[in-house]
Structure 1
Amino acid sequence: MSWDALYSSAFDKVRGNIGKVGGVLLAYNTNIDAVKYLDSKDLERRVRNVGEDEVLRYSDELPEKITSLEHLFGGILWSVRRGKAAELFVESCSVRFYMKRWGWDELRMGGQVGIMANLLGGVYNVPVIAHVPQLSRLQAELFKDGPIYVPKVENGKLRLVHPRDFAGDEENCIHYIYEFPRGFRVFDFEAPRENRFIGSADDYNPNVYIRPEFHEHFEEIASESELAVISGLQALTGENYREPVETLRGHLEILNDKDIPVHLEFAFTTDRTVREALVDLLGKFWSVGFNEVELASIMEVVGEDEIARKLLTHDPVDPVAVTEAMLKLAEKTGVRRIHFHTYGYYLALTAYKGEFIRDALLFAALAAAAKAKLGDVHSIDDVVKAMEVPVNERAKAVEAALEERYGMEKGIADVDGYQLSFVPTKIVERPKSTVGIGDTISSSAFVGEFALRP
């Protein structure tokens, strides 16, 4: 069966079964994305005004946070040079004011929780309960119609209401997204693929602020859920991570006691101490999702520096190195599912077996292509519009390497008692936007898998 036929079959299966999925708890990060499409001449002028030599220094090695304009522009150029996403916390008030004056082209729902809530609840019609650190009027208006709920406590009793019915007017949490297309040229750099740099300019998400409703009523909220996705830990530092991680540990214990599978959507954090703390918690998660940069950063923490180097050396990413990394992590932590997504293909290593794992990855790849193609997906039937997008030709070499090493057939192989599932993705040549595609992939694959489980 061809990959196009497998794609079509997987979509039909998920569309027919996704209604079986009950509530999904989403925590902790939601914000407003102010999206700016970069102009090379404007960017070069701004860099020269700040000081080209100093900016270029930070384009080689990312700072841990943004405290100057040199850091901001160095971070943007770091992403352009590599075609890779990066996100840094903007600590400086003067830089925040500069970004605000630089402006944006559009405002969108942001944060992993916000994006996943709009996809799962607003597109797939799967009920979701979302943690929203600050429910401003603008933030509430960015949520789609559908079974999307936030907790509200009145007279000591918990109610679940749509964000627009929360009737709050809290602060706006703004993240500035600087997008660039493939082939974008600035100075002597050319972006090998489309991506973005994110400057996080709010004080709630970086500190993983958790609302009182969640602190006080978490067990009741969890009882309304069948699945959970945790995200938004990427901006934690060695100074502020202890309290949020302990809160997370308590939430995981409640979710584990209720047998609710939990996915951790990992995002790159520059702080090694935070990565070590998250590795210690991985055994309490059912599932975790990575790209190559994130997986390499975890391999460094567990002492696998050579595997980390291999993950960042080849393009496309060496699938054997990815598989070795996932095996090391599964054996060390006991996590049951590791989902890897990179430009061109996805892999999943699972402690359980079945074609439904591969089919969920195919559905996720189709959803991601639809988002890239259309900019926004309004219904699950929009997802099938990506069928006309061609399957990535470069993934043939990846598939051949997996067939040779592990005897893979139709995207499935048995590796050391685990199942390894592979799918080639569909590549949209000129995506309307890259923001939220990773969140679309991970949530669609995780929820899609549970829709298809026998």
Structure 2
Amino acid sequence: MLKYIERIKNMNLFTAYNTNIDAIKYLTKEDLEELIKNYNPNDIIKKIEEYPREIKEKIDFIARLIYSIETGKPAEVPLTNESLNNWFNKIKYNEERMGGQAGIVANLMATLKLNKVIIYTPALSKKQADMFVDYENLLYPNVEDNKLILKNVKESYWDSPTKINRIFEFKKGLEFYLGDRKIVAKENGRFIVASRPESIRIEFKEEIRKFLPQIGELVDCAFLSGYHSIKERYSDGKTAKYYFKKAKEDLNLLIKNKKIKRHLEFASISKLNIRKMVIDYILSSVESVGMDETEIANVLHVLGYEKLSDNIIKKSKIEDIIEGAKIILDNFDNLEVVQVHTIYFILFVCREDNPLSLEQLKECLEFATILAATKAKLGNINKIEDLYEGLKVPYNKHKDLFFKKYCENNYKIVSVPSRYVENPKSTVGLGDTISSGAFVYYCSFQ
């Protein structure tokens, strides 16, 4: 384990944009019964079949939550009716902690003692700032006297809104009845009711934006996320296209003075138009992308591979996922690596001329599985010594199917089995943990 930490200790990482506070509820049978008792079961079943892609009323939430539990597939669905906030706020949550991919990754990498972690988020209230770990290597960009100054995150807050996501965690085996229909959770998972405040925009403040080339000079790699929360249109008339064009320009500003590696962490995106813009503007501009099997299926669907997309959604076969990753790599010359994380394995697909050896690629993924197992087992990683807990977690029962390293028709492909925690304390942020761990380790070889 110390070998892994030694390799990344001199790395410098920049991460943006999305941070929020996760209000977490660990669901019980009684919680589900309380949610559905005031509804006709047939109405909920009908709504499940409609598959609402946003939460406009309570039954949309209940239907998508039950669908997620029954299929075992984690999901994130935006709350578009802000008047429901009061109802969600009345739920008794078990805990609050850092949420949002950029926030989770910043805390993780600062805790792993990277040399420098620079975090940028467009909203940093005091409550949000207090969710960051208090380490000297975790910094926020400020501008003073027209100069870029990096300060401790906890000292950088201002009067801004706080974004709160509600996370509903469920464990494998959780069961309840919806009328005569028995619902049983197939896997451990979570359902996220995603907040999309109008006032929080995925962009850099202009005073910071002009220093992006300088920030790029200070780091070795950038982990970028949050584009899924861009709205199609805002009350001031600005559109998603406006923000995606700026985001693409910002990606280029980061590498203006130094050619750093940039990673896009994909996310569940309900609106096809936004999903397509993430692909057209952002995926087309980065060197690395991370996603789960549902997200790779969604990208393939946009690219016109409907049959393969459907197969991945229904069966999650490694052969189909490898084929899908190869297609994405072939469609985007800018990409060096496609990383896919599932419950049972993590996958790297690269071109044959990738500078890393198969053994080095495997090492990146093995590091990522240890991080994920530690977070799943403990709920969070608070110190480097916690990683020994992850090392104790065995590989999953299908391990013999996934430990592969091979070249195939101009590709380097490596898959590593996950270390499977039977009863995880939490599943929120596992994908972000895997992707960031694998990406930072990958960049350490460059």
Q: TM-score by structure 1 length? A: 0.90
Q: Give the conservation status (yes or no) of the 8 Å contact 1:300–1:308.
A: yes
Unpaired segments ≥5 residues, structure 1: 1-10, 400-409
Contact 1:30 1:205 in 2 (8 A): no
Does residue 196 (structure 1) correspond to residue 185 (structure 2)? The answer is no
Give 1:26 shift.
Answer: 0.6
Structure 2 Cα separation of the partners of residues 342 and 56 of structure 1: 28
Answer yes or no: is 1:160 the counterpart of 2:159: no
Q: Does 1:390 align with 2:394?
A: yes
Distance 1:154 1:50, change over 3 A: farther
Change (3 A) 1:84 1:124: farther
Whether contact under 8 Å (1:237, 1:273) holds in the other structure is no
- Structure 1 residues 237-246 or 368-377, which shifts more? 237-246
SS in 2 for 1:234: helix
Out of 180, 187, 202, which is 2:170 matched to?
180
Residue type matched to 2:127 in 1? L
Deviates more, 1:204-213 or 1:177-186: 204-213
Partner residue, 1:359: 363
SS in 1 for 2:314: coil
Percent of residue pairs bearing the same amino acid type: 30
Alpha-carbon distance in structure 2 between the residues aligned to 1:303 and 1:394: 31
Would you say the 8 A contact 2:55–2:78 is kept in 1? yes
Shift of the 205–291 alpha-carbon distance from structure 1 to 2, 3 Å rule, reads farther
- Distance change >3 Å, CA 245–CA 19, structure 1 → 2: same
2:246 is matched with 247
State how far apart, in whole Å, the 1-side matches of 2:229 and 2:126 are.
25
After superposition, give the CA deviation of every residue in 1:342-367 in whole Å (9 maximum; x if it has no partner).
00101101121411111010000011
Q: For 2:201 and 2:39, locate their aligned partners in 1 and report how far apart those are by CA, in whole Å.
A: 29
- Distance in 2 (CA, whole Å) between partners of 1:76 and 1:150 is 36
> Does the 8 Å CA contact 2:173/2:184 hold for their aligned counterparts?
yes
Q: Does structure 1 retain, via aligned residues, the 8 Å contact 2:74–2:190?
A: yes
- 1:12 CA displacement: 4.2
Give the aligned partner of residue 54 of structure 2.
Answer: 65
Q: Does 1:430 align with 2:423?
A: yes
Distance 1:142 1:41 in 2: 30
Preserved CA contact (<8 Å) 1:262 1:287: yes
Contact 2:209 2:250 in 1 (8 A): no
On the 8 A contact 1:264/1:285 being kept in 2, the answer is yes
Q: Identify the range of structure 1 (339-348 vs 192-201) with the bigger mean alpha-carbon deviation.
A: 192-201
Deviation at 1:206, TM superposition (A): 7.2
After TM superposition, give the deviation of residue 235 of structure 1 in Å. 2.8
- 1:94 matched to 2:98? The reply is no
Deviations 1:100-123 (A, max 9, x none): 011311110010011000000123
What is the alpha-carbon distance in structure 1 between the residues aligned to residue 373 and residue 229 of structure 2? 28
Kindly tell me: are residues 96 and 55 of structure 1, through their superposed partners in 2, closer, same or farther at Cα, counting changes over 3 Å? farther
Alpha carbons of structure 1 residues 211 and 44: separation in structure 2 relative to 1, 3 Å: farther
Judged with a 3 Å threshold, the aligned counterparts in structure 2 of structure 1 residues 205 and 439 are, in CA distance, closer, same or farther, namely farther
Amino acid in structure 2 at the alignment position of 1:389: V
The answer to whether the 8 Å contact 1:59/1:76 transfers is no
Listed one character per residue, the Cα deviations across residues 165-185 of structure 1 (whole Å, up to 9, x for unaligned) are 115242221111111111111
Please give the secondary structure, in 2, of the residue aligned with 1:20.
Answer: coil
Q: Which amino acid aligns with 2:413?
A: L
Seen in structure 2, the aligned counterparts of structure 1 residues 97 and 211 have a Cα distance that, compared at 3 Å, is farther
Once the two structures are superposed, what CA deviation does each residue of 1:50-88 show, in whole Å capped at 9, x if it has no partner? 443333333335322211111111121121111121112
Match in the other structure for 1:301: 302
C-alpha separation in 1, matches of 2:207 and 2:193 = 28
2:168·2:190 contact (CA, 8 Å) conserved in 1? yes
**What's 1:412 paired with?**
405
2-side partners of 1:65 and 1:159: how far apart?
A: 40
Q: Which amino acid aligns with 1:89?
A: P
Q: Is the 8 A contact 1:230 1:264 kept in 2?
A: yes
Q: What pairs with 1:253-268 in structure 2 (closer than 5 Å)? A: 253-257=252-256, 258-268=258-268
Q: Residue 20 of structure 1: CA displacement?
A: 2.5
Q: Distance in 2 between matches of 1:157 and 1:235?
A: 30
Q: Please give the root-mean-square deviation of Cα atoms over the aligned residues, in Å.
A: 1.9
Offset at residue 193 of structure 1 (A): 0.9
Preserved CA contact (<8 Å) 1:279 1:333 = no
Q: Which residue of 1 aligns with 2:6?
A: 16
Partners of 2:190 and 2:200 in 1: CA distance: 19
Partner in structure 2 of residue 280 of structure 1: 280
Structure 1 residues 236 and 247 mapped into 2: Cα distance closer, same or farther (>3 Å)? same
SS in 2 for 1:121: helix
Aligned equivalent of 2:22, options 10, 29, 33: 33
CA distance 1:358–1:368, shift in 2 (3 Å): same
- Equivalent AA in structure 1 for residue 278 of structure 2: L
- Secondary structure of 2:219's partner? coil
Q: Deviations over 1:186-220 (max 9, x none)?
A: 32211111111111224169742543443343223
* Secondary structure of 1:109's aligned partner: strand
Name 1:378's counterpart in structure 2. Answer: 382
Q: Is this contact kept in 1: 2:212–2:254, CA < 8 A?
A: no
